[in-house]
Structure 1
Amino acid sequence: LNQYGGLDSTYVPPGWDQWEAIVGGLARPNDPQKFNVNGTVETRVGHQTDILTERAADFLSTHAEQPMFLHLAYTAPHQSKTRTGWVPPLAAPRHEHAFDGLTPPTSPAYNEEDISDKPEPLQMPLLDEAGLAYTQALAEQRAEALLAVDEGVQQLVDALQAAGELDNTFFVFTSDNGYFLGEHRRRLGKHEHYEESSGVPLVIRGPGIPVGSTDAVVGGHDLAPTFLGVAESWGAVQDFVLDGRDLLPLAQDPSQPANRDLLIQAVRPASGGLGYFAVRSEDGWKYVRYANGSAEMYDLNTDPHELDNLAGKEEFAAVEQDLAQRLTAIEACSGDACR
């Protein structure tokens, strides 16, 4: 990201007291890993997820009694890379074949029967037997790769419990993207606006947060304001404007609406993909405008799998016009206007 690790593998961004980042072997989880440890490159041996867990648990055990922030970014269950190219994720050896024969969840969008209503560049052929087999392998090996993540999270919980700080700690669990497993005829991928790709888990656990869930529209840009909201009790001051909003009030009262639209975008000139801007509304609509002028629009309340493109249909012209205006407003906003 932002060429990190490419220009200078010893670079440490400002603001961190402890910095340990993978700069070699990122997609090869069972090979020796090169880490930038506070400006010095070290080689570590073992399964990548286990190494990350060990370092994170050590940090928690050392600093748990004082205010602290830990950002732990597991690579699993990202695809892995071998000498022959990209392959389904490689699990820790102890977890290999743990999910052989797993039946992945499917939806009506799986190998979608009719995609003639979607923009022409998105009209992929039906997945053949090889494509379907690959999605099966992805599902099995992603689940296997996540077993080490599950064990790692438990280790961190145990470390905080041992330090007596578990009930005084906020956990925020999320991901950088979703992923296709055969939906809309895509055997893999993560750059499209469809819910399987753009939707990610967001779980927040901590003091004052009740058990529950919400369908409110939130985004990754809300995380920094949320962390600052927690840190205010330690004396942190937010002295600059952020695009997102603090999610703690919503987490503490999941019944309240977010009352906002959310921008989804992807610009991919290097890969030849079709760039787009999209708006996801609080009331369950999605409108997508592509770089070639084509569009998609879905009512997620009645069509959660995005099978029926309503863009260009006369009976929905007023809705499309409204969403197009909202998209124009949000794609150019900043600060308070983006909240």
Structure 2
Amino acid sequence: MARSLWCAIGATAAVLVSTAVPVSAALPTAAEPDPRPNIVLINADDMTLAEMAVMDSVNELITARGTTFANMFSVFPLCCPAQASIQTGQYNHNNGVLGNGGDQWPVGGYQALDVDNTLSVWLSAAGYQTAFVGKPMVGYNQLDPLVVPPGWTEWHAVVGGDYSKSTMFQDGLKTSYIQYQTDLWTDISQDVIRRRVAEDAPLFLWTSFKGPHNAGPMEPDDPPAPRDGTPARADRHKGLFADEPLPMDPSFDEFDVSDKPSEVTGRPPLDQEKIDYLTVLNRQRLEALQAVDEGVADIIGTLAETGELDNTLIVFISDNGFMLGQHRFVGGKGVAYEPSIRVPLVMRGPGVPVGATRTHLVGMIDLAPTFVEVAQATAGLEMDGVSLFARPTSRTLVLEAGPREIDGPFYWTGLRNQRYKYVEWGTGEVELYDLRNDPYELVSLHTDPRYTRILTQAEAALERLHDCAGAECRTNAVLVG
């Protein structure tokens, strides 16, 4: 693979390509070593952008030695839809995964994804070894019988248990483990690397950690009757953040919510019990993340040990963010506010600038196009995203949660560009924020007569883009007041 794939950074306009366009290097013949890099994707679950501050190993080994994407967004901020976008490079209105499944999200789950046409299939067809370790899409464990999805050379997916124990479905067999879950998945990932890098073909490894997502077992220092639980921590990390105060930015327990939709106005101000719960939840989340941070270090250490580190593209992300009291939300995600949709993305490896920060908008839909380009693979569908190696340009991202046609507070769709965010809820309510002047989304401008023109433009842009596909999705909705 060409060692510098990054186009001229800083240009403001370019034609961006999201379908598979091979880079200039030719695929190897049977007699030649394969020059293409390994690809390692590591994700946390429900981790916020602010929590990158406690990820010492990630920051030392990836951030400082690679590139930070400061405006990375989970375009459908929920576990299963985010994984579907990673696997297809598509918005969820195109890949069909419009929720986690179940009563609240009836159009979603693993069963909604066309598993025969995903990233693993494309990379496998291009000659990559592929391995998955950790938490699969929601609903996978309900398959009967369990099967390994197409395109995976190795499959190590959790199908039961909690942080203290795991039932894994590994290449056709169920195996039970008694080990802290994050550590187990780190060990399996290291074993995959040690065995697979000795082969001639490059490796694509996706390690999907669960931390800091809430899960048991219950622990003695958990808050009484927690609203939605907390994440169990490894014993070695308990108490590390015992004195950590709860972050309270200006949107925390928002005082005046008269401009907000009913999903917010129906929430009472936070009482002391909720604040105490959020305080403990925040501390335990930071402690659960320490095992993820150590896992990243161990995986990178194994790449170095095997001599593959310099020939590996490493990407660290979170599937979505999390609400810790902002706008009165006591935990959770799946809403359009910044703590829910804005997530970490750092990357290191061949062709990636060192110590750089990019501020253009990128999204979960951009990972598959990146990996397809690096692997010189061919996508089996039209992707909506663009490679992270493409030249930055102005862009508007589509945001969504659930089918637009379903009424109700959980369903919404919207747009975000560098300055504005516009959201239409399933209830018919709308929000409009000028993020340059109001980064905490305290005052919706949808009733402000000074923003009537912007509102009209945003409504028209969303009507055009809410069901966009391919190149149409890669446009910029210019909103001018």
TM-score, structure 2 normalization: 0.65
Alpha-carbon deviation of 1:270? 10
1:191-233: CA deviation from partner (whole Å, max 9, x where unpaired)? 110000111111111112112112211111111111101101x
Contact 2:406–2:426 (Cα < 8 Å) also in 1? no
Q: Sequence identity, in percent?
A: 37
User: What letter is aligned with 2:472?
Assistant: A
Is residue 305 of structure 2 the alignment partner of residue 172 of structure 1? no
* C-alpha RMSD of the superposition: 2.0
Report the Cα distance in structure 1 between the residues aligned to 2:217 and 2:204, rounded to whole angstroms: 34
Given the alignment, which residue of 345, 358, 361 partners 1:202? 345
SS at match of 2:370: helix
Is residue 182 of structure 2 the alignment partner of residue 40 of structure 1? no
Report the Cα distance in structure 2 between the residues aligned to 1:243 and 1:14, rounded to whole angstroms: 22
In the other structure, the counterpart of 1:127 is: 270
Alpha-carbon deviation of 1:44? 1.2
Contact 2:264–2:328 (Cα < 8 Å) also in 1? no
Given the alignment, which residue of 57, 60, 65 partners 2:193? 60
In the other structure, the counterpart of 1:215 is: 359
In the other structure, the counterpart of 2:156 is: 20
Report the Cα distance in structure 1 between the residues aligned to 2:143 and 2:380, rounded to whole angstroms: 31
Report the Cα distance in structure 2 between the residues aligned to 1:219 and 1:8, rounded to whole angstroms: 33
In the other structure, the counterpart of 1:331 is: 466
Is residue 148 of structure 2 the alignment partner of residue 29 of structure 1? no
Contact 2:324–2:330 (Cα < 8 Å) also in 1? yes
| Greater RCO (CA < 8 Å, at least 6 residues apart) | 2
In the other structure, the counterpart of 2:251 is: 109
Is residue 205 of structure 2 the alignment partner of residue 70 of structure 1? yes
Alpha-carbon deviation of 1:149? 0.7
Report the Cα distance in structure 1 between the residues aligned to 2:345 and 2:413, rounded to whole angstroms: 22
In the other structure, the counterpart of 1:321 is: 456
Contact 2:253–2:327 (Cα < 8 Å) also in 1? yes
Unaligned runs of at least 5 residues, structure 2:
1-108, 111-138, 219-224, 475-481
SS at match of 1:316: helix
Report the Cα distance in structure 1 between the residues aligned to 2:407 and 2:237, rounded to whole angstroms: 34
TM-score, structure 1 normalization: 0.91
In the other structure, the counterpart of 1:137 is: 280
Given the alignment, which residue of 233, 249, 254 partners 1:91? 233
In the other structure, the counterpart of 2:11 is: none
Given the alignment, which residue of 300, 303, 318 partners 1:160? 303
User: What letter is aligned with 2:357?
Assistant: S
User: What letter is aligned with 2:378?
Assistant: V
User: What letter is aligned with 1:120?
Assistant: S
1:231-252: CA deviation from partner (whole Å, max 9, x where unpaired)? 01xxx233532111111235xx
Report the Cα distance in structure 2 between the residues aligned to 1:16 and 1:299, rounded to whole angstroms: 44
In the other structure, the counterpart of 1:253 is: none
- Tell me the number of residue pairs that the alignment of Structure 1 and Structure 2 aligns: 326
Relative to structure 1, is the Cα distance of residues 9 and 107 closer, same or farther in structure 2, using a 3 angstrom cutoff? farther
Alpha-carbon deviation of 1:104? 3.5
Q: Which runs of 4+ in 1 moved over 3 A?
A: 81-86, 268-274
Is residue 266 of structure 2 the alignment partner of residue 266 of structure 1? no
Given the alignment, which residue of 328, 353, 361 partners 1:185? 328
Unaligned runs of at least 5 residues, structure 1:
251-255
Is residue 378 of structure 2 the alignment partner of residue 237 of structure 1? yes
Report the Cα distance in structure 2 between the residues aligned to 1:102 and 1:213, rounded to whole angstroms: 28
